[in-house]
């Protein structure tokens, strides 16, 4: 037969923290998987001059029109993966999901581990048991005898449950018509003390025996009759059989000879003086929420930068343009080679040829 495990608030919070950490780790895995380059040709960028697909943008040259990609630019085709909402989710998955998962696991482990360590070694525990016995006395001068005990154990953590610090006391009260006389007993010391009729404190070592109880009655002006003597013997026998850790109610023989009327017991279990689990279950979610907000706020710039990078085309840097020193024939479009002279500069008048020498007729001599 299996015993069902009770579902408590700590178990519920631990289960929720584990589920949340699992979801965040799945998000981080999706962010890492989606960061890989797409193998679909339709997702490749297009040349800004001719519109052809550029399979290798890092080359810097359009293989179709031979244009310089840093000059003409690239155009990305429409895709749902390049919308603002998708890039924001992708930035959250890749940047913030994994740190949040680690933070969740850390807070959960810290809360569970610290609670367990404090509960085992530091947390104060108290075991308190009280018992009250009302008996009808046989003495004619006493109306009622009340015997009450208080048993306490103190331990710092559950590890000290086997060897706690203990205190165990008893009080015997003899009630008459006009007064009430009390006898205080330390059951662990052992010792007992009381005040006599003159108000003088009297202390003795050891548990009170029959003669000690009769002396107590005599010092408090109680009538000593055969019934009082019998009551003193029964009480002394009960106190003698009362050992540390035992109950005030002894064996059946003592119970039958003591004329018991009422027995009441209270306590009997370890109780912590500080509600540690309540504090842990309230402070750990608060600490987790504070860290969650802090991580989201600290990484806002990285997420915005990553989302912007996902929306813009992968342009090669201009400084690495392979066409910077290329010949003009390797570049698509018109190739204009400027002349050595400015084409719109005013040209000087052409130089005049020197005038020919005048011709004179040759005379015949």
Are 90 and 138 within one domain?
A: no
CB hemisphere CA count around 80 (13 angstroms): 0
Q: Tell me how far apart the terminal alpha carbons of the chain are, to the nearest angstrom.
A: 163
Q: What is the pLDDT of residue 364?
A: 47
Are 74 and 164 within one domain?
A: no
Between CA 193 and CA 236 the distance in angstroms is 15
Are 159 and 46 within one domain?
A: no
Between CA 323 and CA 67 the distance in angstroms is 9
**Residue 328 lies inside a defined structural domain of this protein:** no
Q: What is the pLDDT of residue 365?
A: 42
Are 98 and 134 within one domain?
A: no
Are 215 and 244 within one domain?
A: yes
Range of the domain at 211: 124-272
Between CA 265 and CA 248 the distance in angstroms is 10
Q: What is the pLDDT of residue 310?
A: 77
Q: Residue-wise pLDDT tens for the chain (365 aa)?
A: 455 556 677 788 888 999 999 999 999 998 888 766 555 656 678 887 887 887 777 788 888 888 888 888 777 766 666 678 888 888 999 999 999 999 999 999 999 899 889 988 888 998 888 888 888 888 888 888 888 888 888 898 888 888 888 888 889 999 888 888 899 999 888 889 988 878 888 888 988 888 988 888 888 888 888 888 888 888 888 887 765 544 443 333 334 344 545 555 566 788 888 888 888 888 999 999 999 999 999 999 999 998 888 777 655 554 444 444 444 444 444 333 344 454 445 555 555 545 554 554 544 44
Instruction: Look at the chain and report how many structural domains it folds into.
Output: 2
Provide the b/e sequence for 151-177 (b: ≥16 CB within 10 Å).
bbbebebeebeeeeeeebbbebebbbe
Quickly count helices (H) and strands (E) in the chain. 9, 9
Are 315 and 262 within one domain?
A: no
Are 134 and 266 within one domain?
A: yes
Are 253 and 130 within one domain?
A: yes
Are 200 and 81 within one domain?
A: no
The dihedral built from the CA positions of residue 73, 77, 82 and 83, taken in this order, carries a sign that is positive
Q: What is the pLDDT of residue 258?
A: 45
**Residue 347 lies inside a defined structural domain of this protein:** no
**Residue 346 lies inside a defined structural domain of this protein:** no
Are 90 and 131 within one domain?
A: no
**Residue 210 lies inside a defined structural domain of this protein:** yes
């Amino acid at each position: 037969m299996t015993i069902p495990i009770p579902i408590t608030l700590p178990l519920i919070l631990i289960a929720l923290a584990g589920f949340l950490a699992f979801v965040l780790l799945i998000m981080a895995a999706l962010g890492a998987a989606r960061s890989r380059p797409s193998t679909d040709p339709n997702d490749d960028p297009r040349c800004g001059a001719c519109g052809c697909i550029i399979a290798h943008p890092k080359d810097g040259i359009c293989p179709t029109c031979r244009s310089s990609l840093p000059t003409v630019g690239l155009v990305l085709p429409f895709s749902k993966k390049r919308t603002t909402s998708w890039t924001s989710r992708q930035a959250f998955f890749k940047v913030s999901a994994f740190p949040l998962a680690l933070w969740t696991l850390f807070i959960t482990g810290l809360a569970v581990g610290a609670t367990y360590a404090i509960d085992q070694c530091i947390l104060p525990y108290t075991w308190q048991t009280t018992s009250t016995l009302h008996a009808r006395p046989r003495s004619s001068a006493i109306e009622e005898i009340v015997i009450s005990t208080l048993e306490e154990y103190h331990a710092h953590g559950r590890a000290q449950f086997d060897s706690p610090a203990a205190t165990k006391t008893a009080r015997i009260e003899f009630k008459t018509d006009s007064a009430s006389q009390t006898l205080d007993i330390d059951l662990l010391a052992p010792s007992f003390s009381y005040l006599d009729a003159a108000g003088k404190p009297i202390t003795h070592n050891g548990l009170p025996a029959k003669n000690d109880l009769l002396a107590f009655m005599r010092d408090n002006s109680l009538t000593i009759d055969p019934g009082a003597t019998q009551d003193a013997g029964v009480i002394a026998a009960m106190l003698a059989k009362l050992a540390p850790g035992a109950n005030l109610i002894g064996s059946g023989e003592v119970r039958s000879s003591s004329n018991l009327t009422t027995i009441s017991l209270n306590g009997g279990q370890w109780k912590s003086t500080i509600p540690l689990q309540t504090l842990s279950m309230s402070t750990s979610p608060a600490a987790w929420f504070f860290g969650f907000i802090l991580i989201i706020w600290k990484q806002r710039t990285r997420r915005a930068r990553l989302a912007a990078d996902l929306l813009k085309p992968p342009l090669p840097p201009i400084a690495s343009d392979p066409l910077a020193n290329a010949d003009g024939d390797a570049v698509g479009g018109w190739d204009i080679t400027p002349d050595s002279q400015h084409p719109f500069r005013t040209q000087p008048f052409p130089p005049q040829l020197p005038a020919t020498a005048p011709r004179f007729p040759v005379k015949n001599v």
